[in-house]
Amino acid sequence: MAGLNRDAASVAIVVLGPGALDTARRIQPVYSGAQVHGLARRVVGADVAFTELGEHLRALYAAGTPIVALCSAGIVIRAIAPCLANKGAEPPVLAVAEDGSAVVPLVGGLSGVNAMAREIARALDTAPAITTSGELRFGTCLLNPPEGYVLADIEHGKRFVSDLLAGAPTRIEGAAPWLDDAGLPRAPDARLAIRVTSRIARLGEGDDLMIHPRCVVAWVGDASRGDIAERVRLALREHGIAPLSLAVLLAPLRDAASEPLAEAARTLGVPLRFNAEPPTDASERFVSQDIVLAVSERPVDPSTTGRARGKLTVIGLGPGSADLMVPAAKQALAQADDILGYDTYVRMAGPFRDGQRVHGTDNREEMQRARHAFELASEGRRVVVVSSGDPGVFAMAAAVLEALDRAHEEAHAREPAWTSVELDIVPGVSAALATAARAGAPLGHDFCMLSLSDNLKPWSIIETRLRHAAEADLVMAFYNPVSRARPWQLDRALDIVREHRAGATKVVLGRDIGRPGETLVTTTLDALHSDQVDMRTMVIVGSSTTRAFPKDAKSEWVYTPRWYGEKP
Ligand code: SAH
C-alpha cells in the first residue's frame, strides 16, 4: 500500500448501487486486503454489506479506515462532516466517480490521500484531482515524508508550508534525498530551514520544519531492571535525541520471552529485535547504564537489525478441505517461512508462495521433525508444523512439547535458543468431529477417542481401555483403526466391544471426510466388517442411546441424545 501509513487499516471501497461495482473491483487490487462495502438493499455480491450510508461512513472514519466512496463528493463530505471537527486520526477519504472517470481526494492530506488518489487514478487510467497547493507547487507533500522519516509537529508543519506558499524560501539541513527533485524555493541563507535530524530542536530553531529520521537503535542490556520504556525515554532525553527517531528496540536473545520488554516495545511504538551486542556500525553511540543508543545518519531498517524472535506454530489442517481449516491456521501458514510435516499433509497445506521452504518428511520421524522445527525457529524463522485434523489429537503438538521438555534436561539444548522461541498451538477440526458432523451428532453425549495403533503403546493397554469404555457405555471414536502392518487389531477390538454392546448399536464409518472421494456409511455393530475399514477411515461406535432415522432415500441421521436413561 504505497501511499498509506504502514499500520493503516485496509481500505474500504464503498458502493451504493450495482453500477459502481465494476469500478470498485478495478480499484480493489491496488490495496491488499481492500474490501468492497455495498448498500445491502441495492448491491449483491459486495464483501461487506451496510444499511445506512452516513452511519457506515462515520463508523469507518472513526476506526481510521481509509475510505474510497464511489459516489458524489458532496454526499461523502456531508456524511463525515460531524467527524471532521475533532482532531485525531484523519484517514484518507476519496470520492471516485461511479464510472471511474474522476478521482477526488477529500481529506487525509497527512495520511497520504493524494498518493492514494494518484494510485487509484493510475488504475482507472485517469488524472487525479489534486487540489493541495503545497503539493501542486512543490511536487511533494512536505508534511508526509517517506517511510523511515517522521514529521515532528504537524500543526507547525502546516504553518511552515503556508510560509513557503507565501513566498518564503527555505534551505535543507541534513539528508533529505526525497526532496532532491522537489520544486522548493531554495536559498542557502534562508531563514526557514527543513531540518532532518535525530536531535531535539535547539533554541532558535522554532520556525524550522523538523523531520526526524528513524535512525536510532536502543539496545537494552538488562530487561530485568524496572520500567524499560521509561528508561529508554530518559536515555534519549539525556542525550538530546528526539523520541520519534527511535527505530527499533534491541535486546539479547536470552530476553526474547521477556514480557516487560515486549510491553516496552509496544509502549514506544517500535519493533523489538534481538542481538547479543548493540550495533557496531552506527556513527554515534551513547550509553546510559545498561542502555546503549546507536545513532546512524540514515534511517535504520528494523527488519535487518539483529533478528526477530523465532516463532513456532503447530497447526491442524482439519480433515482436508480448506473451508474446515480455522482462520488462525491459514494465517500462520501465510506468514510462515518454513513448513514442516508429513508429505501428504504438507501437500494439503499448499499452495505456497515463493520463498516459503517446505520440509516434507516420513510420518514416523515425529521427534526429529519437532527438533528440526525448533532449530529453524531458534534462528529467528517463522516455522509452521502441520498435522491433519487437530494437532493435539494423535499428532504433532505433543511431540513438539516433548522435544521442548526434553531439551530443558538434555545437554545439547542448554543454550537459551529453544526457550526463546514463541510457541503457539492452533486447534483444528479433528476427524472424529468432522465425521460426526457429516453423520449428524453421534458424539452428542459422553464419548472417548482411542487410537487402535499399537505402534507406540502395548496392545494390552488398548484392550483394557476398550473394555472400560465399552462398559462405561461411552460412544467411541477409533483413530488409526487398521493398517497393513496391523491387520487383526480391529477385529479383536470389535470382539471386545461386542461383548458389552448390542448388535444393533449404530456405527458410523467416515472415509476421507473433507477430501476428494469422501464416503460416509452408517451400519450396526453386527453388520460391520473390518474390510469396510482402512487407515483413512474414522470409526464411531455408538452407545446404547445412539439412534438413527432416515434423512433421505439413501442415508440416515445418527445422533446420541443429550439425555441419558429414561427420556425426560
Ligand atoms: N490429528 C488427526 C488424527 C491423526 S491419526 C485428527 O485430529 O484428525 C490418523 C487417523 O485419523 C486416521 O487413521 C483416520 O482414522 C483418522 N482420519 C484422519 N483424517 C481423516 C479423514 N479426513 N477422514 C476420516 N478419518 C480421518
Helix (H, G, I), strand (E, B) or coil at 80: helix
Distance 437 CA to ligand 1 centre (A): 14
For residues 176 and 413, which has the higher predicted lDDT (pLDDT)? 176
pLDDT digits (tens, 9 = 90+) for 55-79: 999 999 988 899 999 999 999 999 9
User: Which of 451, 479, 533 has the most ligand 1 atoms within 8 A of CB, as the residue to mutate?
Assistant: 479
Which amino acid residue places its CA nearest to atom 12 of ligand 1?
480
- Pocket lined around ligand 1, Cβ cut-off 6 Å: 319-320, 387-390, 393-395, 430-431, 435, 479-481, 510-515, 535-538
Residues 310 and 466: their CA atoms lie apart, in Å, by 42
Instruction: Tell whether 22 is covered by a domain.
Output: yes
Mean pLDDT of 320-345: 92
Instruction: Tell whether 5 is covered by a domain.
Output: no
Residue 442 shares a structural domain with residue 545: yes
Mean pLDDT of 180-201: 90
Distance 435 CA to ligand 1 centre (A): 10
Which amino acid residue places its CA nearest to atom 17 of ligand 1?
431
With a cut of 70, say whether residue 121 has pLDDT above it: yes
Buried b / exposed e along 171-192 (16+ C-beta atoms within 10 A): bbebebeebeebebeeeeebeb
At which of 265, 300, 335 does a domain end? 300
With a cut of 60, say whether residue 3 has pLDDT above it: no
Give the model's pLDDT for residue 143: 84
Mean pLDDT of 213-218: 98
Nearest atom in ligand 1 to 518's CA: 23
Distance 315 CA to ligand 1 centre (A): 15
Q: What percent of the chain has pLDDT over 90?
A: 74
Distance 539 CA to ligand 1 centre (A): 10
Distance 558 CA to ligand 1 centre (A): 20
Residue 547 shares a structural domain with residue 439: yes
Distance 490 CA to ligand 1 centre (A): 16
At which of 171, 191, 212 does a domain end? 212
Q: How many domains does the chain have?
A: 5
Residue 474 shares a structural domain with residue 495: yes
Instruction: Tell whether 117 is covered by a domain.
Output: yes
User: Which of 342, 536, 539, 541 has the most ligand 1 atoms within 8 A of CB, as the residue to mutate?
Assistant: 536
With a cut of 50, say whether residue 5 has pLDDT above it: no
Residues 104 and 437: their CA atoms lie apart, in Å, by 51
Mean pLDDT of 531-545: 96
With a cut of 80, say whether residue 110 has pLDDT above it: no
Instruction: Tell whether 291 is covered by a domain.
Output: yes
Q: What percent of the chain has pLDDT over 70?
A: 97
Residues 93 and 8: their CA atoms lie apart, in Å, by 13
Distance 350 CA to ligand 1 centre (A): 19
- Beta strand ranges found along 447-555 (DSSP E): 447-451, 475-479, 506-511, 519-524, 537-541, 547-550
pLDDT digits (tens, 9 = 90+) for 379-431: 889 999 999 999 999 999 999 999 999 887 775 555 567 888 999 999 999 99
With a cut of 90, say whether residue 106 has pLDDT above it: yes
Residues 87 and 85: their CA atoms lie apart, in Å, by 6
- Mean pLDDT for the chain overall: 91
pTM given for the model? 0.73
* CATH number of the CATH domain containing 404: 3.40.1010.10
Instruction: Tell whether 510 is covered by a domain.
Output: yes
With a cut of 60, say whether residue 254 has pLDDT above it: yes
Asked if residue 211 lies in contact with residue 170, where contact means CB atoms within 8 angstroms, the answer is no
Give the model's pLDDT for residue 131: 86
At which of 247, 270, 300 does a domain end? 300
Residue 316 shares a structural domain with residue 413: yes
Instruction: Tell whether 138 is covered by a domain.
Output: no
Residues facing 316 on adjacent strands:
387
Domain range for 389:
311-429
Which amino acid residue places its CA nearest to atom 26 of ligand 1?
431
Instruction: Tell whether 26 is covered by a domain.
Output: yes
Give the model's pLDDT for residue 8: 45
Compute, in degrees rounded to 10, the torsion defined by CA atoms 218, 222, 228, 229. 10
Instruction: Tell whether 1 is covered by a domain.
Output: no
Reported as a pLDDT band with limits 50, 70 and 90, residue 436 is very high
For residues 133 and 485, which has the higher predicted lDDT (pLDDT)? 485
Residue 48 shares a structural domain with residue 156: no
Give the model's pLDDT for residue 549: 97
With a cut of 90, say whether residue 144 has pLDDT above it: no
